[in-house]
Amino acid sequence: MTATNRRSFLLSTALASGLPILKGLANTAEKRDEQALKNISLGVISGANNPEEELKVVRDLGFPTCQLNIKDYSPELAKRLTATLENYKLSATTLICMGPGTYTWDLVDGPSTIGLIPRETRVPRIERLKQGIDFCKAAGIPAVHAHFGFIPENPKDALYTEFIGIMKPICEYALKKGIDVYFETGQETPVTLLRALEDIGTGNLFVNYDTANLVLYGKANPLDGLKVLGKYVRSFHAKDGLYPTNPNELGKEVLIPKGEVNFPAIISFLKKMNFKGNITIECELSGDNKDYIVNTKRYLEKLISA
């Protein structure tokens, strides 16, 4: 036997002897991917002020879940919404609840206008949030979620201690109703949000992880932030963007996968941590984005099942 043939023979023998191991690894990976498809559901953000019409679009696009934006939290609408979700076989995962008042989405006026950090708008926004919690209870929506503002990095900052003090009773109110509270990422670093979640500590606090916001606000690499907040993450916004280059403005939102968010790595990380939750496609760019949503759905499905 020549040296070349001998090497070929040894290689073939090695591959043959390792075949059961390779098959086992392939089967394990396949089972993990199948489980990921069961664990991770995809959705979109939808209005539901006219649920029969608006949620029909969600159903027709083939999504099993949605996050909802609703203007008026009436008992009548809660009944219609519950019936429509059941009829369309849809699951509403969160109610996005913010306002009233102006929110300025930039790095200059944002800290003084977004969420519950600004003192001037706290009272009506706390009331709105409680109304949203009551609506979730009436409509069978498991969680309310919002941008709560630029949470200060310094835990001894007066605005930080005030924020913890006002959030505890709100979250306790939600807990008594059986409703979870989701913090959307963006205005603060992941470590600051982690500290706030644990300082409030009511046990019903989780994270709606917006992959692009961490980029747009320049707060973290989305994959690294996930390593900090992973145990609290229950839902995602699938969105992409670029880091800010103007210190006064947010970075630019772009279509998936044209930005800084490494979706293959993030989906892989979620699968390894056996994530059970939903990924909601969000697109705030102007224009008709129906085709984009359908294409992004396919893109994410391929990553989940890869």
Helix (H, G, I), strand (E, B) or coil at 83: helix
- For residue 10, the model assigns a pLDDT of 33
d(CA 215, CA 209): 12
Q: Tell me the DSSP string of 44-79.
A: EEEE-SSHHHHHHHHHHTT-SEEEEE-S---HHHHH
d(CA 244, CA 250): 5
**Placement of tokens 């390779």 in the chain:** 22
Q: Any idea how long the chain is?
A: 306
Q: Which of 190, 106, 182 is nearest to 142 (CA)?
A: 182
Q: What is the CATH number of domain 42-305?
A: 3.20.20.150
- Helical packing angle, 158-177 and 190-200, nearest 10°: 60
- For residue 217, the model assigns a pLDDT of 98
Residues 145 and 181: beta-carbon distance below 8 Å: yes
**Placement of tokens 């609840």 in the chain:** 97
pLDDT (tens digit per residue) in 162-204: 999 999 999 999 999 999 999 999 999 999 999 999 999 999 9
Residue 125 has pLDDT above 50, yes or no: yes
- For residue 289, the model assigns a pLDDT of 83
Helix (H, G, I), strand (E, B) or coil at 305: helix
Residues 83 and 62: beta-carbon distance below 8 Å: no
d(CA 290, CA 296): 10
Mean pLDDT value of segment 134-152: 98
Domain ranges within the chain, ordered by starting residue: 42-305
**Residue 19: alpha-carbon gap to chain centroid:** 40
Mean pLDDT value of segment 227-246: 97
> In 177-297, at which residue ranges do the beta strands (DSSP E only) sit?
180-184, 205-210, 233-238, 240-241, 253-254, 277-281
Residues 263 and 302: beta-carbon distance below 8 Å: no
- For residue 5, the model assigns a pLDDT of 39
**Placement of tokens 């090695």 in the chain:** 14
**Residue 191: alpha-carbon gap to chain centroid:** 17
| Interacting residues of 121 by C-beta distance below 8 A, sequence separation 6+ | 100, 101, 113
pLDDT (tens digit per residue) in 20-78: 544 554 455 555 556 666 889 999 999 999 999 999 999 999 999 999 999 999 999 99
Residue 284 has pLDDT above 70, yes or no: yes
- 230 C-beta neighbours (distance < 10 Å), count: 15
